Amino acid sequence: MGERVAILGASGYTGGELVRLIAGHPSMEIAALSANSKAGLAMSTVFPHLRHLDLPRLTTIEETDLSGVDLVFCALPHATSQAVIAGLPEGLKVVDLSADFRLRDPEAYRRWYGKEHAAPELQTEAVYGLTEFYRDEIRAARLVAGTGCNAATGQYALRPLISAGVIDLDRIVIDLKAAVSGAGRSLKENLLHAELSEGAHAYAAGGTHRHLGEFDQEFSALAGREVRVQFTPHLIPANRGILATVYVDGNPAEVHAALAAAYAGEEFVLVLPEGELPSIRHVRGSNYCHIGVVDDRIPGRAVIVAVLDNLAKGSSGQALQNANLMLGLDEGAGLRGVPVFP
Amino acid sequence: MGERVAILGASGYTGGELVRLIAGHPSMEIAALSANSKAGLAMSTVFPHLRHLDLPRLTTIEETDLSGVDLVFCALPHATSQAVIAGLPEGLKVVDLSADFRLRDPEAYRRWYGKEHAAPELQTEAVYGLTEFYRDEIRAARLVAGTGCNAATGQYALRPLISAGVIDLDRIVIDLKAAVSGAGRSLKENLLHAELSEGAHAYAAGGTHRHLGEFDQEFSALAGREVRVQFTPHLIPANRGILATVYVDGNPAEVHAALAAAYAGEEFVLVLPEGELPSIRHVRGSNYCHIGVVDDRIPGRAVIVAVLDNLAKGSSGQALQNANLMLGLDEGAGLRGVPVFP
Amino acid sequence: MGERVAILGASGYTGGELVRLIAGHPSMEIAALSANSKAGLAMSTVFPHLRHLDLPRLTTIEETDLSGVDLVFCALPHATSQAVIAGLPEGLKVVDLSADFRLRDPEAYRRWYGKEHAAPELQTEAVYGLTEFYRDEIRAARLVAGTGCNAATGQYALRPLISAGVIDLDRIVIDLKAAVSGAGRSLKENLLHAELSEGAHAYAAGGTHRHLGEFDQEFSALAGREVRVQFTPHLIPANRGILATVYVDGNPAEVHAALAAAYAGEEFVLVLPEGELPSIRHVRGSNYCHIGVVDDRIPGRAVIVAVLDNLAKGSSGQALQNANLMLGLDEGAGLRGVPVFP
Amino acid sequence: MGERVAILGASGYTGGELVRLIAGHPSMEIAALSANSKAGLAMSTVFPHLRHLDLPRLTTIEETDLSGVDLVFCALPHATSQAVIAGLPEGLKVVDLSADFRLRDPEAYRRWYGKEHAAPELQTEAVYGLTEFYRDEIRAARLVAGTGCNAATGQYALRPLISAGVIDLDRIVIDLKAAVSGAGRSLKENLLHAELSEGAHAYAAGGTHRHLGEFDQEFSALAGREVRVQFTPHLIPANRGILATVYVDGNPAEVHAALAAAYAGEEFVLVLPEGELPSIRHVRGSNYCHIGVVDDRIPGRAVIVAVLDNLAKGSSGQALQNANLMLGLDEGAGLRGVPVFP
C-alpha cells in the first residue's frame, strides 16, 4: 500500500538519491520514473547501484502514467521544470528540486536567471522548502520549491541569528566549500576527475552565484529590511558535502544560544557544544546538518560552521522530508540513515 | 524490546560501522560498547557521525556489563580477540570480526599468524562466517568467525566455480584492489592521505598475505584436494571497496552459469549479465556484492570481477547478517540500505 | 638558439605536458602551438598553469607556420593524426603521440581501429617509439610513433623476459591500474570526479583494449612466434600513473636478472632490488619507470610490477626523449625532473 | 663544483622537497643529509621517488660532517631547531624551515608557542624569509627564518594592500583551504586517508592558529599600528596547495592595482587580470604564487584569492630562493619547474 510517488528527471544525481532514500521508506512506493534522454532504459543501466531494486522502467515525461500517483518529485533541470509542472494534473502534489520556484518575485527571478518565468502564478503559490522554517506552509502546500543546497547551508547557520537580532546584518561573510556532486552529472571540463582532484577553486565569486537570490529574499524577509551578504563558493575535491564558514559580528555566546534554541526540537539539525566544529565527513549520505560556533579572538565576532550533504539534506533528503509533511506522514520517515563514515 | 547486543572494540572502523547498521535494525538494541583505549568517552567523541544516536558510553572490556546481552560482536584487534572471547560467559553468542577464528587448523594458524593460538578449542568450535555458504552452521553456532574482507571477495568469485568443477584449480590468479579503510584506523605512514592519495601499490605480494590461509583452507576443502591460488592485493586511493579481478582457465559461459546458479536465491550477492563488470562505487556503504564475468579473447579463459564494501559486506555487514541468523531474525534486517552513489 | 619545435594539438593533456617538459629543456624552443578548437586563445587560457611562460598563441593547423621548424610533435586525436601528418612538409621530423602509427600491419590496424588507414605508406615508415628498444631506428627516423601508455608499461615489464626466454609465452597476465588522465580531457560521464573518485572499475576487459594490438605486434616479433597475453586495464581514482601487475610462469631469480641486465645502462628505467615493489606515487610527474619482482609462493611463478607516469614516460616524456634522439641532442635533456612526492 | 649544502631533518616532506628542487639546481650540491630517526638508511628507502639520485646516506645530526658546507637547510621539527642551530659552527649560513625564528619578539614567541625560546639572541638576528619583501636583508643574513606556509599565502595577498593603505585594517578575513601535506608526515588520526579523503573541516579556528603570530607581527609593522586579522584554516582532501580567500573592505580596482604594482617585477608572484581567480591545481609542485581579485557586489568590498604550493613556494621553494640570495646565486635557480597539471 502506502503513498505512490513519481520521479520526473530520475537519471540525475538527485533523482538517483531520491530512489535510494525512498527505497528505505516504510510507506512510500515508486510508481513511475521518467528521464527523457534515457527513456526505455532500466534504472539499473543508468544507476547500477540500484540494480537490486525492482523499479519501473524509465519513460519520457509524456508517456509517464501519473494516475494513482499521490505526489511527484520533479528533479528536472532549471527552466525545464516550470513548464512541466504547469502541465501536471491540477491538484497533484509536487515537490520541485529545481531552482524554478525558489524566488517568489518575478523580477528577482528575471535578474538571477536571466529570463521571464513561464509560470508566474505557480511561482507565487510555491512554498519555499526549507523544512524547519516553513513546516506549516509545507504541510498545506500543493507545490513546494526545494532550496538551493548552498542556500540551505547558509540559512541553517544564519536564520536564527537574524531572527534573534544578535548579529550585524551588514557584516556577513559566507565562505562555502562544496563537493562536486552539487554540480550534477553534466559534462563540463572542470568537473573531470583529472581537473578537480587535487584542485580547489572559487567560482561565481563576488556576488554572482544564483543562490544569492535566495539569501536576499529570505534574509531580507526575516530582517524586515534589505540584507546583502557576501558569498564565495569554492569547489573542493570531494563527492558529497557542503561546509559553510560564516563570519559574523556578534557575541559568540549569544550566537550559539540563538542557534541552540532554534534547533532544540529538530531531529535533523544538530548544534554542537560551543567551541566544536563539524566536518562534512560526519554527515555523508545522511539527512543531518551539524552546526558549530567558535569565538573569534577579536571580541564581538563569531565564526559559525555548518555542514550537510548536498544531495541529501541539501536536496533529495529535504525533498523527501517535505513530501512526508505534504502527505501527512512521519516527517523523518526514510531519512534516518546514519551517515556513512569513513 | 528486541535483541540486546554489545560491541567490544567499538572505536575502530568496523565497530563504528556496526553501530551504523544496527541503528537501522528494526529489532536490535545496543546495550554496551567497549573500547579500552577510549573508555569513558562518549561514542560521539570518537565518531561524530553518530552524534544524533543515543548510545551507551564507552567502557573498558572489564567494566562492560553483559548481563541481559544476547550476542556480542567482537571487533577487537587480531590476537586480542581470542583471549577476550575465551573469557566471556559460557553460552553467550559471539560474532568475532578479527582473524582469530578463521583458520580451523592450529598449525595453519601458527604458520600464517606466527604464534600459538590461545584458545584452540574455540578455534575448532567456531563456524566460518561466509554467510551464503555456511548458513545452516551459522544458525546453530555459538561462535562465528568473520572472514577476511579480501578473502570474502575472492571466495564469492571462486567458490561456485570450484564446486561446479568448471575451472582449472592450478591456474587461479586473484588480483585485488582494496580501499584503505580495510587497513583500519591504525596510525601508519603509508595510510596517511599525503602518501596514499594519488598513489597505488601492491602489498603482501607473492603469496604472503594472511588471507591466503583462508583461501587455502576453504578452496582445498571444497575441491577435496590442495588448492593454491596466486593473490596480489593492492591499495588504491579510495575509502571503501574491494575489487577482485580473478583470472581462471575455464569456459566463460560455464563460469557465468555456475555463478548465476549459486547466487540465484541470494539477496545480497548479485551476478550481472554476461559481459558486464561491476564497480566498487556501486556497492559503497551497502551489504551488496556484485559479480561479473567476461570472456577472454584466449579461448577457455574467463575473467571474473567481484566487488563489495570491505566495511559492510566484507566485515560489519557480514557480522550483522550472521548475528541475525544466530538470533533467529530476518537474515537481511538492518542490511538493506541502498549503496551510496555518488 | 636551439632546436625549434611545434606542437599540433596543444590543448590536450599530452600537449600541455609537452610544453611543461620543453620549458625545462636547455636547447629546445617552442615555435608554434596549434589547437583547432581553441585557435586564437592564449595557451594560459587553456592551461593556466603555463601562465608564466612566454608562448605562441594557439592557431589552427592550417594557419600554423612551420617554416624554420625542426620537428613537430603531433598530439592530435587518433585518426585525425594520419591525415595531418601526411600533409606535412616532406622531410620534417615528426613525433606522433596518437595511436595512428603504432601498428605496422594495415590489417592489424583495421582490426583494432575499425577502419582503413589513410596513410599506409607512412604506417610502414614509422618507427615504434619505445625508446630503450628502438633507439637506433629512432635516431635515424623521420616519423616516430609514440606508444600507448599502457602498452609501454606492459612492455617494460615483459620485453626482456621474452627476449631472454625465461617465461612461458602462453601464460602471461597483465592486470593494469591506470589513473584517469590517460583518458584525456574528453567529456565522458565516467570521467567525472563524482563518478570516478571513490570508484574503481575494469574496462575493455577480456582482450578488447586496443593496446593489445601493440602487445601482439611487439611480443610476437620478439618471440618469433605468435604471443597472446591476457590484459585487463582498470581505472583508479588518481590523476597520473599506471601500475601494471604482471603474472608470469618463470623462475623469479631469472626474471629479475633478465630485467636487471636489460636496463643496467638505462637512465630512466630502474629495476628495484628483488622483493621490492614500486608505487605510482614515486614516479609522478617524471620520466622514470620503476620495476620490481617478487617470487610467488607457487614455485616457478613470479609477479612483476612496473609503474610509470602515463603523461610523462607513457607519452609526452617518451615523445621528448625520442625527439632528442632524432635531433641529435642529449637523450635525457628536459627529462630529469625529479618525481613530485607527495 | 658549486655550493655545498646540507639538509638537517631530511626525512620529512620539506626535506624531501628540498632534495627534489636542489637536484635540478645548476650549481648546488648536497653534501650531507641528516635524520636522527632514520640515520643509517639510504635516502631512497625513506623516499623511493629519489631512488635515481646519488645522495649521501642519512646520518644523525651529531655525526653530520659540515666541513666544507656553505649553507645548511634546517628542516627539523619546531622547538628542536633552535637548539640545533645554536650549536652550529659560527658563521655557517642557515635557512631554517621551522617556526622557531619567525617571531622576533620573545614575548610573542612565548604566547604562541607556549614556552621560552632557547636562543633568543638568534631570534633577534634571524631575518624573516618572505623573499619578495625582505630580499636585501636576506642577501646579507646569516640566519633566515622560513615563514609559515599559511602565513606566506595570506601575506602575499595582503601586504601590498596594507602598504598602499587601500583597505580597512579592522575588517580583514582570511579563509584558508590547505592541502594535507602541510601537516607533515606525522602520524595523526585526522591525517589518515580514510578520515580526510571525502572530508573537509576547519581547524584552529577563531584565532588560535600559530601563524597568526606572523600575521600580527608583519601586518602591524607594515601598518605602524596593531593589526588583527580573522583567520580560519581548513583542511581539504588534496596533497599540495593552499588557497586563501581574503575578504577586505576597499575599492577593488585599487586593490588590484596595488597588487599588480607590488609584484610587477617578480618572477614567482603573478597577479591575474581583474576578475580572474586562481586554483591550486595550477601551481602544484612549483614555486609560483597566483593572485586574483574580484569585486564584491557590495560596493567597497573586494575578494582576493591567493594560491601556492605549501611544500614549494610555501616552504622548501622559499628556502631555496632565500639560499640562492644568501649565496649570491641567481635567485630563481632550481625553482623554474613548471607546475604539474593535471
Are C35 and C130 members of one domain?
Answer: yes
Alpha helices by DSSP H, listed for chain B, are 13-23, 43-46, 80-86, 106-113, 120-125, 131-140, 149-164, 193-196, 211-223, 252-262, 317-326
In this structure, the answer to whether residues C279 and C133 fall within a common structural domain is no
Q: Which residues of A touch D237 (CB under 8 A)?
A: 236-238
Please name the residue that has the C-alpha cell 581514482: C237
Backbone φ, ψ for residue A6 (5° rounding): -125, 150
- Structural domain of B211: 149-310
Chain B contacts of A340, Cβ < 8 Å? 20, 49, 284-285, 340
| CATH for C277 | 3.30.360.10
* Residues of chain D contacting B192 with CB distance shorter than 8 Å: 180, 185, 187, 191-193
CATH number at residue C70: 3.40.50.720
**CB-based contacts of D67, cutoff 8 Å, min separation 6:** none
User: Which residue of D19, D239, D282 is in closest CB contact with C48?
Assistant: D282
pLDDT, mean of residues A283-299: 98
pLDDT at A109: 96
Q: Are B273 and B244 in contact (CB under 8 A)?
A: no
CB atoms B243 and C201 under 8 Å? yes
Confidence of residue A260 (pLDDT cuts 50, 70, 90): very high
Distance from CA of C113 to the nearest CA of B (A): 17
Task: Please list every residue in chain D whose beta carbon sits closer than 8 Å to the beta carbon of residue B188.
Answer: 187
Share above pLDDT 90 across residues of chain A, in percent, rounded to a whole number: 97
Measured between its terminal Cα atoms, the distance across chain C in Å is 36
Tens of pLDDT, residues B147-195: 999 999 999 999 999 999 999 999 999 999 999 999 988 899 989 999 9
Measured between CB atoms, which of A53, A281, A285 is closest to B285?
Answer: A285
- Given A48, A288, A338, which is nearest B282 (Cβ)? A48
Alpha-carbon distance B60 to nearest alpha carbon in chain A (angstroms)? 24
Cell 619482482, residue? Answer: C293
Q: Using an 8 Å Cβ cutoff, are B23 and A338 in contact?
A: yes
Partner D contacted by B13 (CB < 8 A): yes
Looking at the fold, whether B123 and B159 belong to one and the same domain comes out as no
Q: Does A111 touch chain D (CB under 8 A)?
A: no
- Which residue of C111, C173, C190, C290 to mutate against B (max B Cβ within 10 Å)? C173
In a domain, B340, yes or no: no
- Percent share of chain B, pLDDT over 70: 100
Facing B239 at nearest CB: one of D181, D198, D239 = D198
A168 and A79 co-located in one domain: no
Q: Does residue A149 carry a catalytic annotation?
A: yes
CA angle at residue A269 from A268 to A274, to 5 degrees?
145
Contacts of D241 in chain C (CB under 8 A): none
Three-state helix/strand/coil letters over chain C: CCEEEEEECCCCHHHHHHHHHHCCCCCEEEEEEECHHHCCCCHHHHCHHHCCCCCCCEECCCCCCCCCCCEEEECCCCCHHHHHHHCCCCCCEEEECCCCCCCCCHHHHHHHHCCCCCCHHHHHHCEECCHHHCHHHHHHCCEEECCCHHHHHHHHHHHHHHHHCCECCCCCEEEEEECHHHHCCCCCHHHEHHHHCCCCEECCCCCCCCHHHHHHHHHHHHHCCCCCCEEEEEECCCCCCEEEEEEEEECHHHHHHHHHHHCCCCCCEEECCCCCCCEHHHCCCCCCEEEEEEECCCCCEEEEEEEECCCHHHHHHHHHHHHHHHCCCCCCCCCCCCCCCC
Q: Which residue of D has its CA nearest to C184?
A: D342
Tens of pLDDT, residues B40-96 = 999 999 999 999 999 999 999 999 999 999 999 999 999 999 999 999 998 999 999
Are B158 and B240 part of one and the same domain? Answer: yes
Q: For residue D186, give the chain B residue with the closest CA.
A: B189
Convert the pLDDT of each residue in C286-301 to its tens digit: 999 999 999 999 999 9
Question: Closest approach of chain B CAs to the CA of A20, in angstroms?
Answer: 6
Size of interface C-D (CB pairs under 8 A): 91
Are A143 and A153 found together in one domain? no
B276 inside 8 A of chain C by CB: no
Q: Which residues numbered 298-327 in B keep a CB inside 8 Å of some CB on C?
A: 298, 301, 303, 305
Q: Within a domain: residue D336?
A: no
Pairing relation of β-strands A230-235 and A143-145? Answer: unpaired
Quick check: D52 and C288 CB within 8 A? yes
Please report the pLDDT score of residue B82 as a whole number.
Answer: 94
**Strands of the A28-34 sheet, one edge to the other:** A58-59, A28-34, A3-8, A71-74, A93-96, A143-145, A127-128
Cell of B143: 561462535
Could D187 and B188 be called an inter-chain contact, meaning their C-beta atoms sit closer than 8 Å?
A: yes
The answer to whether the CB atoms of D13 and C337 lie below 8 A apart is no
Name which of A48, A288, A337 is nearest B337 (Cβ-Cβ).
A337
Q: For residue C98, what is its C-alpha cell? A: 596518437
Task: Indicate if C75 and C219 belong to the same structural domain.
Answer: no
Name subunits touching A (3+ CB pairs < 8 A): B, C, D
The nearest CA of chain B is from the CA of C256 a distance in Å of 14
DSSP secondary structure string for all residues of A72-103: EEE-PPTTHHHHHHHTSPTT-EEEE-SSTTS-
Q: Specify if D300 maps to a domain.
A: yes
Q: Are C8 and C123 contained in the same domain?
A: yes
Those chains having 3 or more beta-carbon pairs within 8 angstroms of chain B are A, C, D
What is the structure's pLDDT at A307? 98
Residue B333: inside a domain, yes or no? no
Whether residue C298 sits in one domain with residue C160: yes
Tell me how many residue pairs between chain A and chain B have CB atoms under 8 A apart. 90
> Which residue among the candidates C5, C31, C103, C149 is catalytic per the annotation?
C149
Nearest Cα of chain B lies from the Cα of C74 at a distance, in angstroms, of 28
Neighbours of D116 (CB within 10 A): 9
Comparing CA positions, the residue from D63, D56, D11, D14 lying closest to residue D38 is D11
CA distance D70 to D91: 10
What pLDDT, on the 0 to 100 scale, is given for residue A1? 63
Predicted local confidence at residue B190, as pLDDT: 87
Nearest CA in chain A to C12: A189
Is the CB of B13 less than 8 angstroms away from the CB of A279? no
pLDDT at B119: 93
Name the 3-class secondary structure at B292: strand
Integer Cα distance of C108 and C112 in angstroms: 6
CA–CA gap between residue A237 and residue A191 (Å, rounded)? 10
Chain A residues with beta carbon closer than 8 angstroms to that of D239: 198
D45 interfacial to chain C (CB closer than 8 Å): no
For residue B232, give the nearest of C200, C241, C245 by CB distance: C245
List per-residue pLDDT tens for chain D, 342 residues long: 699 999 999 999 999 999 999 999 999 999 999 999 999 999 999 999 999 999 999 999 999 999 999 999 999 999 999 999 999 998 999 999 999 999 999 999 999 999 999 999 999 999 999 999 999 999 999 999 999 999 999 999 999 999 999 999 999 999 999 999 999 888 999 899 999 999 999 999 999 999 999 999 999 999 999 999 999 999 999 999 999 999 999 999 999 999 999 999 999 999 999 999 999 999 999 999 999 999 999 999 999 999 999 999 999 999 999 999 999 999 999 999 999 999
Q: How far is CA B113 from CA B101, B108, B310, C93, D30, in A?
A: 11, 8, 21, 60, 44
Q: In this structure, is residue D28 part of a structural domain?
A: yes
The model's pLDDT over A303-322, given as tens digits with 9 standing for 90+, comes to 999 999 999 999 999 999 99
pLDDT band at B1 (very low <50, low <70, confident <90, very high): low
Contacts of C296 in chain B (CB under 8 A): 206-207, 230
Q: A101: distance to nearest CA of chain D, Å?
A: 24
8 Å CB contact between B230 and B174: yes
Answer whether B49 sits within 8 Å of A20, measured CB to CB: no
Is residue D278 within 8 angstroms of chain C, CB to CB? yes
A127 and A180 housed in the same domain: no
Spatial separation of the C-alpha atoms in residues B295 and B314, rounded to whole Å: 27
**C70 shares a domain with C95:** yes
Residue D342 lies in a domain: no
pLDDT tier for residue B265 given thresholds of 50, 70 and 90: very high
Bridge partners of residue A311, in order along the sequence: none
Q: Distance (Å) from the C-alpha of residue D178 to the closest C-alpha of chain B?
A: 12
pLDDT of residue C1: 62
**One domain for residues C264 and C185:** yes
In contact, B5 and B323? CB cutoff 8 Å: yes
Determine, for residues A181 and B342 on separate chains, whether the beta-carbon distance falls below 8 Å: yes
What DSSP state is assigned to residue B312?
Answer: I
Q: Which residues in chain D touch residue B38, judged by CB atoms under 8 angstroms apart? A: none
Nearest-CA neighbor of D16 among D185, D179, D178, D146? D185
**Rounded CA separation D222/D291 (Å):** 20
E strands, chain A, are: 3-8, 28-34, 58-59, 71-74, 93-96, 127-128, 143-145, 173-178, 201-202, 230-235, 242-249, 269-271, 289-295, 301-308
- Does B46 fall in a domain? yes
- Kindly name the residue from A58, A84, A149, A271 that is annotated as catalytic: A149
Minimal-distance CA residue of chain A relative to B239: A342
pLDDT at residue C68 tops 90: yes
SS3 call for A177: strand
D188 near B CB under 8 A = yes
Q: Which three cell numbers stand for residue D65?
A: 660532517
Using DSSP's 3-state secondary structure scheme, residue A307 falls into strand
| Residue B210 CB neighbour total at 10 angstroms | 18
pLDDT at position B278: 98
CB C77 within 8 A of CB C53: no
Q: Tell me if B332 is assigned to some domain.
A: no
Q: How far is CA D225 from CA D149, D160, D207, D222, in A?
A: 24, 16, 19, 8
Interface test with D, best of C51, C180, C263, C290 (most D CBs within 10 A): C51
Does residue B239 sit at the A interface (CB-CB below 8 Å)? Answer: yes
In chain D, the number of structural domains is 2
Contact C194 A191 (CB under 8 A): yes
User: Residue D1 has what pLDDT?
Assistant: 62
Q: Tell me: the pLDDT tens digits for C153-200?
A: 999 999 999 999 999 999 999 999 999 999 988 889 889 999 999 999
Using one digit for the tens of pLDDT, what is the confidence trace for B287-306? 999 999 999 999 999 999 99
CB–CB of C5/C73 below 8 Å?
A: yes
User: Which chain C residues are Cβ-neighbours of D20 within 8 angstroms?
Assistant: 338-341
Q: What is the mean pLDDT of residues A179-197?
A: 91
Give the C-alpha separation, D69 to D5, whole Å. 5
